[in-house]
Amino acid sequence: MSVNLGKVKLPTADLPKNLPPIQLEFKPPSARIPGYTPIVVPPSDLEAPKGVKAKSSEKTEAPQIQIPVLDIQMPLPTTEVVATATYAAVAAVATTTLATPFFNQIKKKLQKFLQGKIDKWKEKRKKKKDSSES
């Protein structure tokens, strides 16, 4: 297309019609915020409501043994302590009993191997000494 202005013809550009505006979808960023269940701590001056019976929390004393010569009383260990000590002792003895033969075999083989190396070293040293003397 061109425009006629008398004798001069000026070229014109054929431009396309305006494009519709671009619609951008904008989603704001999201994140998962960690949450926790709040722990409710009662106040220190909390009292039970009227009509509620309190549980009796009687502590039983640990059994004691009287030592006559020293004239003192010694507390005996609780059942849990005795059971734990027993389990530990049995495990230690069983491990030692089962592992000792294996370690003895390894020890014998290692001693034999090292003694062989020492003997070879002594022979080489003796040969060097004999060859240097002659």
Q: What would the pLDDT profile of 46-58 be if each residue is shown by its tens digit? A: 888 788 887 777 7
Report the residue count for the chain.
134
Nearest-angstrom CA–CA distance, 102 and 97: 10
In terms of Cα–Cα distance, which of 92, 64, 94, 95 is closest to 78?
64
88-124 pLDDT per residue, tens = 999 999 999 999 999 999 999 999 999 999 999 999 9
Mean pLDDT, the chain, rounded, equals 85
Q: What is the pLDDT of residue 5?
A: 61
- Structure tokens, 133: 């003397």
Q: What is the pLDDT of residue 3?
A: 59
Q: Which segment of 23-32, 45-54, 57-66, 124-133 scores lowest on mean pLDDT?
A: 57-66
Q: What is the pLDDT of residue 105?
A: 94
Amino acid residing at 19 = L
In terms of Cα–Cα distance, which of 74, 76, 72 is closest to 85?
76
Q: In a 3-state reduction of DSSP, which class is residue 115? A: helix
For the cut 70, the answer to whether the pLDDT of residue 69 exceeds it is: yes
Span 46-75, mean pLDDT?
Answer: 80
Q: What is the pLDDT of residue 133?
A: 74
Nearest-angstrom CA–CA distance, 22 and 58: 79
Nearest-angstrom CA–CA distance, 42 and 46: 7
